[in-house]
Structure 1
Amino acid sequence: MENFNEDYKRYECAKERVKEIKGFYIHLFTYVCVISFLLFINLKYSEDHLWFYWPMLGWGIGLLFHGLKAFEVSFVSKDWEERKIREYMENEKKNQNKFE
């Protein structure tokens, strides 16, 4: 029974991960379509003043962060996170012992 629960938890995590990645690809497709349309409008009606890159840049930054989250890219290693967690737990334990 315990094995079934662990398999189910892994399945749910994998399902959630696939949902996040799918959401990113939908976001990326929408971005490409809308920015292409804005580029077309910009070049057709006001080619002397290029403005399409402002929404492209702003939305692109949001898309970048969405991709980093969806693909679980981190600039901090798991080892560092674990060391910090242990450090904070030890500090908390020391502080607790001071007042006892």
Structure 2
Amino acid sequence: MAKPGKQSGRHYTEAEVRAILERALRDAQTRDVSHDELVAAAEEIGISRGAIEAASRDIEHVRGEEDARAAILARRRKGFRSHLFSFLVVNAFLFAVDALNPGPWWFFWPLLAWGLGLAFHARAGLSSDVSPRQIRRELERSAAQARREQQRRLKEQRRVERLERKQRLEQSAEDFGHVVEEGVATVLSRIAQEIRGSAPPPAPVEGAPKRSRIAPLDADEAEDESEALGEAEAERAARRGRGGR
């Protein structure tokens, strides 16, 4: 068993613990720490998981308030810069118009009036004071914006899922149609084969040349066969006429 070190019996106050941890975190390599790692490290020094969870919620709340405060100040300064740019451009244009036209000077009247309004705007826009009510409204605004963004993502995901489901159904219907067409064509082919196999061969005509059952007749052979049939029929009619006399 290892002997305890010289520092094993030393105790620290809460302020010293906080200072030591802050110094260690500041001197350590900078990286993001997960929530589970933070809980595990706290449990090593005897801090319960519930205390870490409560502290993390407080830190997240403070971080949210700081982000809301920064967003409010950034929006104020952006509005003041836009106002200042408009003030300079418009009053420079009024000064040019007044300088190019004869008569008494008048451009300073709108300059003074507008400058008074710009001064009040600068007082509010460059101020770092943010009331708790403004922070609360900014947090509510951010939460509403996050909900809208989440709803938009859910709608987009559902739309993609519906489109994919529709494409799958159309593909399944197309495949089923091909299968049905192939099946119908196969059944019709079999029926045609059975009909051709069960049909009796045509009776041969007396005097007509016999033809093969295997090889089909071409156009010339069909014409010769038709002429032979006609001649045989004419010969039989002549015989019947002579027998009648």
TM-score under structure 1 length normalisation: 0.68
Q: CA RMSD in A?
A: 1.7
Counterpart-to-counterpart distance in 1, 2:61 and 2:101: 60
Counterpart-to-counterpart distance in 2, 1:28 and 1:72: 16
**Match status 1:56 vs 2:117:** no
Q: 2:121 aligns with which of 57, 60, 66?
A: 66
Query: Cα distance 1:51–1:29, how it changes in 2: closer, same or farther (>3 A)?
Result: same
Letter in 1 for 2:105: L
Secondary structure of the 1:51 match is coil
The 10-residue stretch of structure 1 (14-23 or 64-73) with the greater mean CA deviation from structure 2: 64-73
Unaligned runs of 5+ in 2: 1-56, 130-245
**Structure showing the higher helix proportion among its residues:** 1
**Match status 1:23 vs 2:79:** yes
Taking CA–CA contacts closer than 8 Å with sequence separation of 6 or more, which of the two structures ends up with the larger relative contact order? 1
TM-score under structure 2 length normalisation: 0.29
Letter in 2 for 1:57: L
Counterpart-to-counterpart distance in 1, 2:96 and 2:85: 17
Question: Aligned pairs, how many?
Answer: 73
Letter in 1 for 2:112: L
Which of the pair has more CA radius of gyration? 2
Residues 10-41 of structure 1, C-alpha deviations (whole Å, 9 max, x = no match): 11111111110111011001000000000011
Secondary structure of the 2:60 match is helix
Give the fraction of aligned pairs with identical amino acids, expressed as a percent: 29
